[in-house]
Homo-oligomer: A and B are copies of this chain.
Amino acid sequence: MATIDKVSPLAPKGGFPDLPAVGGVRFSTVEAGVRYKGRPDVMLAAIDAGATMAGVFTRSLTRAAPVLWCEDALARLHRDGPESADKGFAIVVNSGNANAFTGAHGRKGVEATAAAAAEALDLPASHVFLSSTGVIGEPLPAEKITARMGDLAAALSGDAIEPAARAIMTTDTYPKGSGETLSLGGTDVRITGIAKGSGMIAPDMATMLVYIFTDAAVAAPLLQEMLRDLTDRSFNCITVDSDTSTSDTLLLAATGASGMDPITRSDDPRAPHFKAALGRVMLDLAHQVVRDGEGATKFVEIDVTGAASDAEAHQVGMAIANSPLVKTAIAGEDPNWGRIVMAVGKSGAEADRDRLTIRFGDLLVAEKGWVAESYREEDGAAIMREDEITIRVDLGIADGHATVWTCDLTHAYISINADYRS
């Protein structure tokens, strides 16, 4: 395994943020030795009765056993409606092994882990959510996890969110957290979240996992709708290497512990405020994942306007963000805008060479089918030397708009991924 000994140069300054404690949620971690030695590799989150849950999962057709389990569990909860709130929930996550493409053995590991957590916390097994992140195709030693479930349950604490964020890391170079406190109709409400992810946001080891908690009270269908919509504007707008994980999981628990009256409809005046705050936390976590992209040295925002539709703008943004040639040029601090033209051309979205405008930050680079008269290479090069770069592309066709985020493609990415399992 590649040794990841240096924190990404793009890590947020100041380390792990001071997150507000969310009532109704407690965390614990243990060193179970699933694969890594000498570090916590399993986390348990316990959520009190009365919470609502929402989640989104990878759309991969080769999704991992714990993802299939979570999809089933969430579908059953949403079908059963409020009566499921009589009992609490648990989230169990291990790092080091993805329990993906492990056939019937994988399913048994999931069932055993869920049963152990259910017993330790007096829950139905269907109220236990599971994630595994690490190597694909190796059998999960579930017994190492179930053996420690009693210890995990005994150690639960409302303050242990940072250790939880650390326990789920694989090639990540720093733990990722984000949170906010807002006032909704006079009640203070907290949102906190943790995430992991580094190689893609989809290598076979990395995988993106996100867990968000709030003491707001929000009905499950509305919570799910908000989560899905915000995912399309945050986590679905980032890419490290274009590879999609078999295990991506995002779970959101709303405990209601703030004591507020539940939000049940989207026309509740508090709903947009809550959604905006949730969106900020999600976007912050998404950016932290990109900033920890394997081998990343540059954080790149790609802002596409003037497309035939928002969907086509997203398509163009992703074509640029996933182009190895654009990403290596950025790694080399080369203002090689020709490669952006190339990526626009191959994206499949409607485009017209002669209506295309490209800017680095506010610097006009190319327009009307050629380099801008005012452009000087040294100005472009100066922008490329920054840690954070914004590329603006206007297609000049209609009003479609999208923003996506990525990082550069460096030698370190090759080193991490060519040596990973060896």
Contact = CB atoms under 8 A, between A and B. Distances in A.
Given A60-B345, A136-B342, A421-B334, A325 B370 contact: no
Contact of A414 (B104, B135, B200, B411): B411
A344 B62 contact: yes
Interface string A342-371: 111111001111101000000000101111
B101 A325 contact: no
Given A341-B62, A353-B62, A353-B101, A328 B370 contact: no
Nearest to A347: B61
- Count class of interface residues, chain A: 35 or more
Contacts of A333: 422
A103 B419 contact: no
B203 A325 contact: yes
Interface in A405-422: 409-411, 413-415, 417-422
A329 B420 contact: yes
Contact of A344 (B61, B202, B366): B61
A78 interface: no
As for how many copies of this chain the complex holds, the number is: 2
Given A370-B137, A414-B409, A204 B332 contact: no
Nearest to A367: B103
A103 B60 contact: no
A102 B342 CA distance: 13
Given A61-B351, A137-B371, A324-B324, 15 more contacts: A62-B342, A62-B351, A101-B370, A104-B370, A202-B346, A241-B325, A242-B322, A243-B323, A243-B324, A243-B325, A243-B343, A244-B342, A246-B341, A324-B409, A329-B418
